[in-house]
Chain A
């Protein structure tokens, strides 16, 4: 399996809660601003996001074609010579370095550059959506289990153990294939099988224990600390203690997690789509583009390298930023997972 890398396991470092504070945050921010790697990776990531957001503009005004528009039989002029978009032997055109087919075409005669940007929208959207799901539910279960202990903890921890027991890719495949045909029906919520929300939901779900388990350990330690006891003596209720005392103290652990989870969600999306258990055709995503690129690597390597470079630039920038963030905040949360 591709190493799914996330901060996890209590076996390593359940960081001791550090008191939250304005000063602590400012120190972290200053360190981050002095870190060239962090600045560089944020810039790279921002450029990718902006480029993908501008996909419709590029499609309309530069390439003059849509992500799913077919040009198999067309002939374009490259350097003054007419060239088939897809040759008679089925080999698509490589990078032309001009406005149309800047990065060449795929075997269906679709503009790779356009698809790359639209695919990026899909991949990034799934990444962010999945990250949001993981962060919301991971933090929530972690805090509830750690704070209330007893039965709440037993039930939630068991649930986390079960999700954790599955190898990430296997669970993604199980959910992906099971939901592909009919979609999902949870009460009034019905999502069709080829919706982009399905992979986002699956990926977000799969990673929940990787956040919830360390948060739970941290909250277990936190609730023994003086300021929580003090808040209780002041007559504060559980909810108010969670919001005012516990939540601010786990923020740094959660924040450190964000770039990691985004990078891993994008990677998992690519992996599942590559296998056919993620984004469904004809929607472009970096994963599906890589999958079709691998098949044509010998004839048109640019089909593979274009999405790979985008994907790797995104995940590398996120992971490098994540490492800088960890150093800046100074938590000991180490990367571990599977």
Chain B
């Protein structure tokens, strides 16, 4: 187990390096020049050239890359071209809102989708099963911004139950924070829920046909107890796998949802940085996302060991 963790952390180093190369290369290949954007419409070519020089953008690409990477290795991700703020503090300032949103979306998902999928499997081919399946197709197909605006239209504008947009920190005002979080986290969670409900259902359907389920019934377990105590823990491995994949999906979902609900999180930061060709910020963010992804995968592997004693690394 300890070996697994150590090995994973070590193997993330080359992964991060490859991510760094790709992100750096992609950004330089994409059209648009931060100096032009920064200097504004009325700037003279000389002013733009001076700006480029000042930002170090006139250097050959390999030199720019090495300069950036050697900073990263020492923990210096550079400064934002746009705001002149250090990239790390930009990310950390926005982290709270995104984490709160993502975590609440995951909690909503697991609390709703797993039981929903389980009930669908238990009542296989009943109307509940069909309803859950139909809803999950819908949830999967409708884009997050459509769902976000629809929810906003009904819950905020028409019925005035919840605030339209914005973010309140749960550390400042928990009540207001929850009210502000409901719509965005449901929006974010919906795709995720559709996916997990489906996987829970199919994974459970397979488990429910296994011999030990019959043994559990023969011991006098009620059907409900068999479902939760015996079948679900055995169906957990695929569900956990998909939750892991889902967290990656969540990263892209966060970008859209934060824009729709005007939440000052990392998603918004990403969009703004890309539009402004703010190279250091985009690069820093991508590395950060890659790191999260590696970390989540490690957690998933550890979760496997906990839920299934047969799995050993």
State yes or no: do A and B come from one complex.
no
Residue ranges of B at the interface with A (Cβ–Cβ < 8 Å):
none
Residue ranges of A at the interface with B (Cβ–Cβ < 8 Å):
none
